Amino acid sequence: MKNLKDKKFLISGANGQLGKEFSRFFSLEQINYYSPDESVFDITDKEKTDKIISNYKPDYLLNCAAYNLVDNAEDDTALAFKINSDAPGLLAEKCKEKGIFLVHYSSDYVFDGTKGAPYSEKDSPNPLNVYGQSKLKGEKVIQEKLDDHLIFRMSWVIGPGQQNFLYKLSQWAQKNKELNISDDEISVPTFSADIVNLTLLSLGHNLRGLYHLVSSGYASRYELAKYYIEKTGLDTVVNPVSITTFNTKAQRPKFSAMSNKKLSDELRITIASWEESLDKYCKDNINE
């Protein structure tokens, strides 16, 4: 991380899970960063974006902004595409003009979940829902416009704040003696602290292109819930049910777990399992 100390980082989506985690890390490590919130840095607003980038002159732009409401996106299609596809295109154009390296985040929902084994970067995407389509288009737009980029596909991001499955689970568990959680929706819980660490390691190694950035292993929502409930000592009973019980608006892939092999090979590290990272997350965020 030493060679990143004299660099400047601009963060979009500063109030989201990942944006907050980057800010927390950069503050602790005394790394130069600027993380204006959405009212100041709206990535769909070309004029504002141009001004912020031209004034701050970052070395790296970390695009943590996204439209993440998977079910709402089915009706709110234009906005989902504006934020997840068009805006990354604007950022890529500006980065090209100014010689800035762009880091962008995408999703396991670009896959249809029919492979039956963890997806690699070589597998063909086939999104089942509008959110996945908008994230896939965002990837393509960046790849077309800018060489100096990293795109990380991630899944089930868990970080500071209330917009994640574990926070919601703990709220439900406090109010209910029994919970029904889907056991036919499988992916990889991935923690924001690991995402920050792996992003910066990747920049330090001068990686570029597309990578799957996830914990090692995979789990169903049910397995994740059971592990978390046991870990935190809650006495709620967790029952496995099918995702179809919940009648969600957007169709979701059943098995969208991705493999982190390409990233771990190129960084020459072993990426922690989701259980190890969850244990650490509980220690740092719950028992502190």
Ligand X SMILES: NC(=O)c1ccc[n+]([C@@H]2O[C@H](COP(=O)([O-])OP(=O)(O)OC[C@H]3O[C@@H](n4cnc5c(N)ncnc54)[C@H](OP(=O)(O)O)[C@@H]3O)[C@@H](O)[C@H]2O)c1
Interface residues with ligand X (CB under 6 A) are 12-13, 15-18, 38, 41-44, 64-68, 83, 105, 107, 154-157, 163
- Cβ at position 262, least distance to ligand X in Å: 17
Least distance in angstroms from the C-beta of 164 to ligand X: 6
In the chain, which ranges are E strands? 8-12, 32-34, 60-63, 101-107, 149-154, 157-158, 178-182, 186-187, 190-191, 209-212, 219-220, 237-241
| Shortest distance in whole angstroms from residue 157 CB to ligand X | 4
**Six-digit token pair at 4?**
């990143």
For residue 132, give the 3-state DSSP assignment.
Answer: helix
Nearer to ligand X, 5 or 171 (CB): 171
- Shortest distance (Å) from residue 267 CB to ligand X: 19
Note the residue count of the chain.
288
60/156 with CB nearer ligand X: 156
Question: Which pair of structure tokens corresponds to residue 248?
Answer: 């969600």
Closest CB 135 distance from ligand X, rounded Å? 6
Is the CB of 21 or the CB of 183 nearer to ligand X? 21
Residues in contact with 61: Cβ distance below 8 Å, sequence separation at least 6, in sequence order: 9, 10, 12, 53, 91, 95, 100, 101, 102, 103
- In whole angstroms, the minimum distance from the beta carbon of 233 to ligand X comes to 25
Minimum distance from residue 82 beta carbon to ligand X (Å): 8
Pick 138 or 272: Cβ nearer ligand X: 138
How far is it, in rounded angstroms, from Cα 206 to Cα 148?
Answer: 10
Residue of closest CB approach to ligand X: 16
Strands 209-212 and 178-182 turn out to be unpaired
Please give the radius of gyration of the chain, using alpha carbons only, rounded to the nearest integer.
19
Quick one: 88 or 178, whose CB is closer to ligand X? 88
Of 4 and 213, CB closest to ligand X: 213
CA distance 102 to 91: 8
Start-to-end C-alpha separation, the chain = 26
DSSP-assigned letters across all residues of 75-123: T-HHHHHIIIIIHHHHHHHHHHHHT-EEEEEEEGGGS-S-SSS-B-TTS
DSSP code per residue over 13-42: STTSHHHHHHHHHHHHHT-EEE---TTT--
The one-letter amino acid at 83: I
Q: How far is the CB of 79 from ligand X (least distance, A)?
A: 9
